[in-house]
Amino acid sequence: MDGFFVQILVNGLVNSGIYIMVALGLALSVGVLGILNISHGNLLIFTTYLTYWFWRLWGLDPLISLVITVPTGFVLGAIVYRGVLKHVLDAPHINQLILTFGIAVVLSSLMELFWSSNVRFVSTSYQAISLSLGIAQIGSLSAAILIVAFSVCLLLHLFLTKTNTGKSIRAVSQNPKGAALVGIDVNRVYLVTFGVSIALGSFAGVFWLLIGYITPYVGDILTLKAFCIIVVAGLGNLYGVIWASLLLGLSESFVKGYFGPGWADAVFFAIIMFSPNLQIFQGG
């Protein structure tokens, strides 16, 4: 098999791993709360800035900082839900979209105000380490992304199917009124769900920083890609997110490899346009 092809395949799988971690959180909030959170990417990048400053000021390794960043993402999500989203659950969808768009704008502006619009990146000793796959190379970080993405999927599955909280989330996603009638605290479920959605994205944010960079506005890109994925997967379809992320990540990698990087960002627009699930978001 051609080495160039294999390398593109590996790169696509790595991109897919990050997209999975970003999109699972958005799909969870859409499927349970029924809110398309336009600020999803901005929230997770906000927590990623914490990782950057922990590394910059105190030399804390970004991977170790996950034990701080992920819980912080949960708390941030819970605060946003309780302070803002809780009050618009029954509002028209357009109002919810405008509100979450406003949250995104405020967060981006705050990040630029506090930390400037400069490109931020980190440098660690293991970023240059690569593993040989015979005719292709995979970086140690790339391997870590694939392992963590698989682990996140597995842990989320176990959380939703084996824990009481997870079962409550599934019940509320199917029938909130019925869940309330059998004693489930629906408001608490919504809070936990939104917190978990941002915590999941925080994993992706740290790895995005490790293999690339962050700015106050890079979260908008992640939100668009996650939106593309949940359109393809179907509304609230968590398992479909995995396959849709693979489709986007691999498509971008092959387009970039064979046609040039300038075409890669057009891939998700094409995927959305030809997705049979687009009618869900058009009211069809």
Domain at 248, CATH number: 1.10.3470
In this predicted structure, the answer to whether residue 65 has a pLDDT above a threshold of 80 is: yes
In this predicted structure, the answer to whether residue 182 has a pLDDT above a threshold of 80 is: yes
Q: In whole angstroms, give the CA distance from residue 196 to residue 186.
A: 15
Residue, of 272 and 177, whose pLDDT is higher: 177
Lowest-confidence pick of 75-89, 106-120, 174-188, 251-265: 251-265
In this predicted structure, the answer to whether residue 85 has a pLDDT above a threshold of 60 is: yes
In this predicted structure, the answer to whether residue 283 has a pLDDT above a threshold of 80 is: no
What are the residues whose beta carbons fall under 8 Å from the beta carbon of 183, sequence distance 6 or more? none
Range of the domain at 81: 3-281
pLDDT tens-digit profile of 117-144?
A: 999 999 998 888 888 877 778 888 999 9
Q: Which DSSP helix (H) or strand (E) runs through 50?
A: helix 40-58
Give, in degrees to the nearest 5, the angle at Cα 183 between 179 and 186: 55
Mean pLDDT of 21-28: 96
Number of structural domains the chain divides into: 1
